[in-house]
Structures are given as C-alpha cells and as structure tokens.
Structure 1
C-alpha cells in the first residue's frame, strides 16, 4: 500500500513539476517572448502540443489550431471559413485559368488567406500578444477592389505606374475618399462582422435594421417597395470601387517581359494590371436574395498568353 501511494504521489509531483517548469524551460531559448494578459497565466505546453522533438505552433491551421480550439471550441468553424479555404477563388481559378496554367493559384493567389489564428489576433504581428482584431488588422488583407479599404475612406487605384500615388495601405496605393459614417463614429469591422458569425459561415452578425429603424417621416422610407425590395446601401452608399477587368499576362520562353515592366508582377511568369478602377457611385443590380443593391462583381479577368513562336 505504501509503495502504491508513493507511486501516485510521485506521479502527481512529476506532473506538477513539469507544469511549473514548462514556461521556465522554454524561456531558456525563447527569452524575449512576452505573453499577453489574457494568456499570461498559462504555461507554454497548455497551448503548444508536442510535435517531434519540439512543440507545435498553437494557432496553425495545419494542425487545426489545436492550441487555440481546445479552449475556444466555438470558433472551430473558422477552419472551414472562406477566409481560410478560399473555395470561391479556387473554384474560379480551376474553371478558368488552370487549363492554361495548373499552378496559377499557387503563383498568384496563395499569399492572402488566413492560415493561423494569429493572422488576425496577433497585435503588431507578435503571436504571443493576442488581441481582438481591429480595423487595421483587417486591412492587411482587405485592401483591394472586391473587399477593400473603402470603409475607411480609401479607394484602390489602378495598377499602372502613373496612378501609383496617394495613401499606401499594405503596399497598395489608394485615393482619399469619404469614409463610412460608422468608421467616423469609431466602429471597428468586428462590431458587425463578429467572430461567431464568420465561424458559422455568415459574413456578418448584424444588418442595418438591427440598429436602425427606418423613419417613415422620411419620404423614401414611406414607400413600402423601397424597404421591401432595396438594400439600405442602395441609397446610402456614397461611393464604391468600380473595376472593369484585370488583365493577366503570362509569358513563356524568352518573351518580351520588358515591354510590360511598368505594371505589377505578382509572380515571375506574370504581369497584372487592373483596368478602369473608378471610385464613384456604385452600379445597382439584383443580389442573390433578389434585392436591389450595389453590385461589385468578384471576378472580371482577361487572360493573355505570350510566347515566342519560331519564324
């Protein structure tokens, strides 16, 4: 009996000692790491599981973000969210571009997708300083034409070098425009686009009428068809980025790349130039719900293949 009790006691002592010393042992190599307030009471191994001779990245989607999901299980759906899977973009590339270049997505589209919880939750790109995402974090990826920085009053410019001036966000030039009224009031993206909604596959957690009741004394609001068949943004969107197509030029062999040196090069084989990017009143059309709303096509592309042909 004494031996049995001693074995149990030794096992408990070993676990407690391992847990207590885990952080100290890690800090022998990782001396400059500071953990944010919300996680500072945790030991390293509570988030970083053993992997081979070392420990796994807690938030990496390649291991299903095990270090985060074990406590934040309600957000497990983010692993299947469009921001990570990019299924619409991949399906489009497969249908359109892969017949010309099976590696098109990897060459030109792979860079901007969520691959870890810390992509959005790390303050100043420091993975151990966890915070709620603010608008500035969102703009690291959402800064182009389809979902861009227009909320903050920035309209994307054309790709040609003569338009490369103005305010720079994530390496892209923007024109100063009128900000959204909610941004002017100090609201962040997450106040309408919550983590729970994104994890459940919904783009937003709130719609306009969750906070705003239409005033029937306003003439436009007194017309039932307006409230039933039109999105609020049909009238209330002051402007939106409008694009008429992006040219993708692929070179094979010793083609004349220098002729196109003034436009962007997303990869070694390609040049890319978006055409007629205006920041103006948006086009109106029927959305997927049959409601009139501002429309912004997700993909408008023109593909050209330039190769040397022997005379």
Structure 2
C-alpha cells in the first residue's frame, strides 16, 4: 500500500474512533455521569434544615455525591431553574405544588407539614372584609397566594374585591413595613421580620385555621435520571431521620447555615410539623399522601392554576421513595 494511501486509511480509522468515543460519551449523558448535585432551597427552617444536616453529617459524600446549594426566595423560581437545567433539585412549599402537578417537575419526597402562611394587615384592619378595595401584596404561585385565595373564599370574596399586587417576598416585606400596601399573603419567617417594624400588625387569616394538611416537598427536574434521584432521596431520608432524633441540634445547624440567631430558627421551626421517614413511607404506601396532594390539586383547579387535577402518581415518585426506604 503506498504511503499516502496508508496515511489516509489510518487517518480515517482514527476519525471514526474519535467520533465513536464522542457519540458514546454523548449517549450516556452528562447528568448520568455527574455526581454533583445542584440543590435549591428557601432560606427558612423547612427549606434548609435537611441540607444543613446532610452537609454536617457527610451524607452526600456517603452516596458519592457533592452538593452545591443555592438559596431562592420562593418555589416557582426554583421550578423555572429546574426546567432550564440550572438546578437538579429544589424545595417548594404547598402553594407551589401546582407546578409539579402541571408536569414541570417531579416530587421526590415530602419534607414537612407547614402552618406558616398568613394573611396579614396593617394595624386596625382586623378582618378580610376590611381589606376590600385595599392593596394586598403577594408572591404569586406561592403558599402566600394560596392562603390569600383560601381566606378570600371563606369571606365570600374574590381577588376582584381587593387590589392584588404581585411582588416577590422581599418586596412584600419592604412594601408592608413602609406602608405602601395594606395587607399581604405571606409566611413566616418573613412575618417576624415585618413585625419588628410593625409590631401591631394583624393576622387576619391562617393556614392553622383551615384544618387542612399542607405538605412541603423536595422536587427534581424532569430530566434527572433515576440513579441520581435514588442517591439524593437516600440522603434526604437519612437527614430526615437525624432531624427527628436531634431537634435542638437541627435548629442550631439550620441557624448557622442561614446566618440567623438560634431564637429566630426556633421560632421558625415552631410552625412546622415533621414526620419520620417510616411515617412518610407508610403514608405513601397506604395512599394517605396521595389524598393530601389530590385535595391540594382540587384547590388549584378551583383557582384555575391547574386545568385538571392529575393522579398524584403522575408527579410524586412515591414508588421510588418506598424503594429507597426499604432498600
């Protein structure tokens, strides 16, 4: 074989080999090989406590993972980040549960029950009826929005009876404390911040008064592979059980992560009910958790956030949660 022909043949073989390797690398997908977990959270006890535990106890490392955490001020923004691939996982409150129910993410585990949501008003306004025609700030699509809609319905009112102003949580805080809005659909610990400047603010509605269950949850992007979800759920379950056994230490770890006082973290945790992993797995198995999610879905359909209420198994990875727990 002439030298030039041999060189062309070897060059072609080399190119095919490189192309094959490249195609194989692409076919496995970066997400499947990537042991880095990009995890979003909200800066409160609900959103941060398990992440604080996982980091301190070395739970990520035990699963061969490295976690990078990033704080957000609400759940819907995290769902957007999951959709764009900027996050693998996030944390949402009950008011944002309509987003995974609409197919934008998967719930990989229930975290807590929260009763931290309120409709608050300026001093002297003591009922929902007295907010009629007034400016009410709310982070749309969050649990603050959820309690506002619930309270309006209970009072025989709709959003047309108030001047609803969409704001992010930090703007709600600054607008309320400066008197630019008369009321707000918002949540603790933001309310504690507002009360420092408006000590006589009124709580005119509360999730505590509804008698319903309001689960918070951890969510995954739709494209995150099951292998990664399995490891992350294991970390969350282990952290959850540590939190059950060490409540005071958990408050201290969370306070440190959030750079707040232990007293602030304790006050925040007082609005939270936790369950063991055994309890969460059992309530998943017997369908109780699905019933909670279904009831929330009915509310979102009523408020036109969902066109229809899907089967919770469409977006809650309950089978995986039970599998990891039993394994």
Higher helix share goes to which structure?
2
Q: TM-score, normalised by structure 2?
A: 0.24
User: Max radius of gyration: which structure?
Assistant: 1
Q: TM-score, normalised by structure 1?
A: 0.25
